[in-house]
Amino acid sequence: MKEINQSKEDVKLGRFLSLVLRHDPKAAGICLDEHGFADVEKLLDGVRRTGRHIDMDTLERIVYENNKQRYSFNEDHTKIRANQGHSIHVDVELKKATPPSYLYHGTATRFLSAIKQKGIQKMGRQYVHLSSDSQTAMDVGRRHGVPVVITVCAEAMTSDGIPFYLSENGVWLCDEVLPKYFSL
């Protein structure tokens, strides 16, 4: 993870960009294409119409300094998309990959009994999100309450033919994790 301290304004703008590029493009009055890309000019105009201040330099800085590398430009920087985390249906051209033996999912203790029954479900998002290190998973879990990390036996899932995808920014994604794959 990058150790750059973003300004408060950039963090706030970044949160709004995540909302627009992952969940609600209408919040900036724009549309995404089938691969999740927004036209950069339209995005900048749209964000400005909400009363926020942004220009191309600011956008470049937010993308570059983002601690989780959440966004990517296309080659000529005329389009931008979020690398993962969507709730709306877009195809961000994820690459299938073979995960390490174990992956980690951070959640809150209050979800544990449901998760132990039904497995880890994607809930509002397109995929279940897993990390290759337990500290990142712990930080994700903390966003929901008292955190707990579930260790997932990814190797066993792979042996059973369950596909994994690796996002551009290193997040492991899959459709669900059944309780039999929890490594307790």
What residue ranges bind ligand HQG (CB under 6 A)?
68, 70, 85, 107-108, 111, 114-115, 118, 120-121, 123-125, 129, 140, 144, 171
When the beta carbons of 27 and 55 are compared against ligand HQG, the nearer one is: 27
Q: Residue 81: beta bridge partners?
A: 72
- Minimal distance in Å, beta carbon 15 to ligand HQG? 9
- Minimal distance in Å, beta carbon 38 to ligand HQG? 17
- Minimal distance in Å, beta carbon 137 to ligand HQG? 9
| Residues composing the chain | 184
- Minimal distance in Å, beta carbon 48 to ligand HQG? 24
* Radius of gyration of the chain from its Cα atoms, rounded to whole angstroms: 17
When the beta carbons of 1 and 48 are compared against ligand HQG, the nearer one is: 1
When the beta carbons of 47 and 84 are compared against ligand HQG, the nearer one is: 84
When the beta carbons of 42 and 125 are compared against ligand HQG, the nearer one is: 125
Task: Please give the residue whose beta carbon sits closest to ligand HQG in the complex.
Answer: 107
Please give the Cα distance from 95 to 133 (Å, whole number): 20
**β-strand pairing of 172-174 with 128-130:** antiparallel
Residue pointed to by tokens 């307790």: 184
Residues 6+ apart with CB under 8 A from 12: none
Please give the Cα distance from 122 to 128 (Å, whole number): 4
- Minimal distance in Å, beta carbon 18 to ligand HQG? 6
When the beta carbons of 45 and 144 are compared against ligand HQG, the nearer one is: 144
CA distances from 69 to 23, 61, 181 (A): 17, 11, 29
